[in-house]
Structure 1
Amino acid sequence: MGRKRLRLAIYAGAAVLAAGGGAIAAVAGTNGGATLTASFSKDSDWGSGYQAKYTIRNTGGEAVEGWKLAFGLPGSAKVGTFWDASVAVSGGTATASNKGYNATIPAGGAAEFGFVVVGSGDPTSCTINGADCGGGTTPPPAEEPAEDPATPPAEDPTTPPAEEPAEDPTTPTAGGVLAAPYVDMGLLSNGATTLSQLASSGNVDSFSLAFVTGAGCKASWFGAFDPRQKQFADQIAALRSGGGDVKVSFGGATGIELAQACTNVGALQAEYQAVVDAYDLNYIDLDIEGAASADAASIARRSTALAALQKANPGLKISLTLPVLPEGLTNDGLNVVRSAKDAGVDVDLVNIMAMDYGRAGQDYGDLAIQAVRSTKDQIKQVYGNSDAAAFKMVGVTPMLGQNDDNGRFTQDDARDLVAFANENHLGFVSFWELNRDKNACTGALFQCTNVAQSPFEFSKIFAGFRG
């Protein structure tokens, strides 16, 4: 997800990362009566990489239509995931071009895009629309001390406490993750916010963790961390101690999808297994979109590897997260489901990305419900099961607030969707993305919903899903 994504978006998603800190204005580029400045700032730096953003501001009197920013990196650094721009890399230079939704920068307005750098070293050069935009960096903001992840902060006394799970809270039960919003784990890499804090604030206790991609044929958290090093394991353990659990999501809208990076089925299965082992997973999610959803070779390879992975890990639940239209899964998405079934994968859920339909002005809550109904009918055709069984195989994941296509999914839409999901006993609900809900802001889509809301308002609505 990420285009919605985040989309995290950046993904799509979206990988979508929130940015913070100050910025140093660069030299202006001009376009008629418009004047552009660009600035670079870091959100966090963990030594072996960092996440950062460029902010482009129009300080002139006319709107700018379209922008392109090129920046150089030293040999010790390379661009990993990115969001809110199309990025091409040639040698040591990365060129970021606007997306359709942020192409126009009005007079006095701004646009920004974010990215993860693997390695060390700040940009060495920068041009915006061909004009020099200078160098310089702003260090990441001072981090607040991370709280003990085993001791979540006290809840707001005005917020009703989350219901206690029926299962033994120290032993997550397969099939028990019902509402699990996506969390861009890049935002949690500095430890300033924990999964337990998000759970306490939003009344949800389970999450879909985005995204594991491929660094060559090696699993990698968004191009920055090897999961074998068990990054985030302490946060996952703390969440489980409170009765929650996680899905780890492979893929997303950016980066290299692991099944495309690994051309050998055995090697691919080994990378999935390494992540399952690192976090003792009961659930994994495959977010398959973009070119990966139409790549027949990697689809077949993934299906074979997942079937073998499931045999080696009895009880492992596997969900497929796929693009959808109100009329149902795309042909590519439907082929992914059929391939998994034919390979012997016991698919737990088909989770639809109910977003970015290109139908701004229509009711995105109604369209999400229509997409669920349509997907249910497709599942019945593929599996030959009943309406009830097919509904149970459907998960639904809208993008909160403003979508990349300028459609809007509001709080009322969320209430309608959760009510429908409860009435028809869907298998799963989620949304993209939890940090956008936490920020409750107006601004760039990778960090804001752009609808009037209070922090965690959508989370508390989705927490009402009971399956």
Structure 2
Amino acid sequence: MRRPSALVALFLGALLLLLSPPPALAAGSPTASFAKTSTWDGGYQGAYTLTNGGTTTVSAWTVEFDLPSGTTVGSYWDALLTQSGSHYTFKNREYNGSLAPGASTTFGWVSSGTGTPANCRLNGAPCTGGSGGGDTTPPGVPGGVTVGSASSSSLTVRWTAATDDSGSVAGYEVSRDGGTPVTVTGTSYTATGLQASTSYSFRVRARDAAGNVSAYSAAVSGTTASGGTQPGGGVHTAPYLDMGAWPTPSMPDMASASGLKSYTMAFITASGCKAMWFNAYDPRDGWAKDQIDAIRANGGDVKVSFGGASGIELAQACDSVDSLYAEYNAVVNAYNLTYVDFDIEGAAVADPASISRRSQALARLQQAHPGLRISLTLPVLPEGLTSDGLNVVKAARDAGVDLDLVNIMAMDYYRSVDYGDAALQAAQSTFTQLKSLYPGRSDAQIWAMTGVTPMLGQNDDGHVYDQSDARQLVSFAQGKHLGELAFWEATRDRNACTGALYQCTNVPQSPYEFAKIFAAYTG
């Protein structure tokens, strides 16, 4: 679970923006090309693709533009933002500022309102680059187009990158059943909101920075599943259990005493590029499988969670999608899992390389295990997921992962707010963000893919989440039909003590009092 405050990172980012001088424009013709990657009533998801068409490396970049009245930027990713009225200035992050000749990068945001950027400038020059371009040659046609990862409401289209005389393409346009194309910047696209047991056809074409488009690829078809998994469902209450506590907790005993049926077992981390329980036990040996079997025999189930605040998450330790997939797959096979959770926080939530590897490996894992439910557990503020957290969700979506849940760590805000009210506000804010990322899904489907996990009793920042806050959250969940409730952590609830936070809640309570409150939630 999350410990450090997200506010510190936000403050430092803002300070850097104020102190850093604008970067110099490199020789050549860097360009910034805008596209609406998805749209819905009242908003859109926008992205700029920056391409260095020159012969000298660009060391840093700044893109600025104006938005018309009624349109504003909400959440954003892969850039740092400052705003003055309707004028927006995006600067590179520490990991995407350098662009070698021919290289590209993207940043994006979710917009409230439908107006498009105007007066765009890249490092002080027009975003269209210098006047000497004159590029009229279209890119090549994308190849290797396939349709897969079928659920009852989504299909994922994948293709190989096209080539262009400028060195790289700016984006791709995907047309479904001959309709208006959707623009994306990667080499995959997930169509959502589809009908079950229905065939759809897709074509893809490439677009370069000068606006030239290739011919469409040949149409390929895919059919949605008849009974595929829908977001949410299944295990509705599954608190986290620190399996590294000593003595090792007994899930069957805790379930019997608390009235809960299911748990989220934490955490599998990396020992090199090898999955291990908190760096101590190899899951391939079936460690704690007897406990899992007992939970299932009593009508419950378990989630196994990878990551956490301590240790190294596998996606950071493994240097390839193949090796990462092999480790995830070994754990799923060892315990015959139906649910896996990925607690992404700390440095991992802002690491684009591991985010990309994880997303690709999870898409492959879901293909190998149809029906496998995948949840992402991410830091949150009352205003919703951070821009880094949103990027983790977006990367998974664009890789073709059919996410079961986005679970928010409603804790440690480091603010003088009521932590019960803040958890509800964070859930509502996250719902709004997910609605923008999955515009084809209904409100009920979005609530069903939203999970909330508070920290019981005293949080690390000294603020308290008490029994009345838990009852408030259960009532809220019952009204919205949230996909899941959890909490950190079951051993602390069992102990009902005052002392170190890793083992006590530090609030007056009886053993398992919080568990008995949460057990009332059944979806």
CA RMSD of aligned residues (A): 1.4
1:56-455 paired onto structure 2 within 5 Å: 175-187=233-245, 190=247, 193-360=249-416, 362-384=417-439, 385-455=441-511
Paired residues of 1:2 and 1:254 also in contact (CA < 8 A) = no
Q: What does the per-residue CA deviation read over 1:315-353, in whole Å, with 9 as the maximum and x for residues that have no partner?
A: 000000000000000000000000000000000000000
Q: Distance in 1 between matches of 2:327 and 2:361?
A: 10
Q: CA deviation at 1:387?
A: 1.9
Q: What does the per-residue CA deviation read over 1:52-74, in whole Å, with 9 as the maximum and x for residues that have no partner?
A: xxxxxxxxxxxxxxxxxxxxxxx
Q: Distance in 1 between matches of 2:273 and 2:462?
A: 36
Q: Distance in 1 between matches of 2:453 and 2:503?
A: 17
Q: Distance in 2 between matches of 1:292 and 1:283?
A: 21
**Against the structure 1 CA distance between its residues 251 and 458, is the aligned structure 2 distance closer, same or farther, given a 3 Å change threshold?**
same
2:3 maps to 1:3? yes
In structure 1, the partner of 2:205 is none
Q: Percent identity?
A: 64
Q: Look up the SS of the partner of 2:245 in the other structure.
A: helix
Structure 2 counterpart of 1:3, one-letter code = R
**Against the structure 1 CA distance between its residues 202 and 245, is the aligned structure 2 distance closer, same or farther, given a 3 Å change threshold?**
same
Q: What does the per-residue CA deviation read over 1:338-397, in whole Å, with 9 as the maximum and x for residues that have no partner?
A: 00000000000000000000114x211100000000000000000002222111110000
Q: What does the per-residue CA deviation read over 1:115-159, in whole Å, with 9 as the maximum and x for residues that have no partner?
A: xxxxxxxxxxxxxxxxxxxxxxxxxxxxxxxxxxxxxxxxxxxxx
Q: Distance in 2 between matches of 1:4 and 1:393?
A: 26
The structure 1 segments of at least 4 consecutive aligned residues displaced by more than 6 Å after TM superposition are none
TM-score (norm 2): 0.56
Tell me, which stretches of 5 or more residues in structure 1 are unaligned? Answer: 6-173
Q: CA deviation at 1:2?
A: 5.8
**Against the structure 1 CA distance between its residues 278 and 313, is the aligned structure 2 distance closer, same or farther, given a 3 Å change threshold?**
same
Q: Name which one, 1 or 2, has greater alpha-carbon Rg.
A: 2
Q: Look up the SS of the partner of 2:482 in the other structure.
A: coil
Q: How many residues align?
A: 296
In structure 1, the partner of 2:224 is none
Q: CA deviation at 1:304?
A: 0.2
2:515 maps to 1:459? yes
Q: Distance in 2 between matches of 1:431 and 1:325?
A: 16
Structure 2 counterpart of 1:373, one-letter code = Q
Q: Distance in 2 between matches of 1:342 and 1:422?
A: 31
Q: Look up the SS of the partner of 1:278 in the other structure.
A: helix
Q: CA deviation at 1:3?
A: 3.0
**Against the structure 1 CA distance between its residues 295 and 4, is the aligned structure 2 distance closer, same or farther, given a 3 Å change threshold?**
closer
